Structure 1
Amino acid sequence: MTSLIRFIETGTLGEITIGMERKALERLLGKPQAISLSKKPTIVKYGSLQFSFTSDKTTEKLVSIHIYFDEVMEIPEQLLLEGWLPNKSTSLKEFVGETEISNVRFIEDKKHTIKNLQIGLKSEANVIIIFILEEGIEKLNSIHLSKH
């Protein structure tokens, strides 16, 4: 099963894992909607998902996965996401309540917490969840995983 909860819990998004080659990602998801002009890193975009790759002389390897929560969530249908899918309006309280059902645990991520602006959480798999403070309510902004 591919789910957002599983990604937060394990750091894998379906068959997509840090370290995989860009060619393998494109076999799974098809041609990206956009590719960055920069090559350090190369960023490929699939709707609300962005993947960053670094390259050596022969291959490009996945170093980070980013999910951005905008007004409309666009997730490639090839991922076949199941279960709960939050959106930009999801509050911190709702998010924690939903993930607690699956026993996903977090710690506050001091690196991504900025007083009165945003709150960062980190899962045991080092997945970072960012909430932006809007009108006194924490709203889901993005979820990230980067190579250590």
Structure 2
Amino acid sequence: RAEGREAEVVGQAFTAGMLHDIGKLLLAANLPEGFKEALATARREQMQLWDAERAVFGATHGELGACLLGIWGLPMPIVEAVALHHYPICFLSKQFCPLTAVHAANALEHQIHEDTQGLLCSGADTHYLTQLALLERLDAWRELCAEKLL
């Protein structure tokens, strides 16, 4: 909303933000031993959780969550945001979209609230934000998130 986007994009970004980690719930509820293994691997090897998920399951929580949301018939921008929130550079569109909002918010939230579970946290994808000419907005977004989250 701070970027002055139309209501549809704001609503889709909100929904995608609420659901972006639903794949973690899928894994924890349906494959708990494998999910524990992925968590342990990520901690032990100091790697991103989604890389450990790919090693254990062949897919990430984002991809699995997006698959579920697609089956449920959610709009494609929400599905794309969930699927690629850790890999936004893979998205073909080079304009602000729900993926941009979810990726930035997720990265900033992890920076503001340092992980207490021993997992490696990634920052925002600066290459992606540079392609969208939004890198200079990152500090303003960080301040906005800090105000809202603290």
TM-score (norm 2): 0.31
Tell me which protein shows more helix as a share of its residues.
Answer: 2
TM-score (norm 1): 0.31
Tell me which protein shows more strand as a share of its residues.
Answer: 1
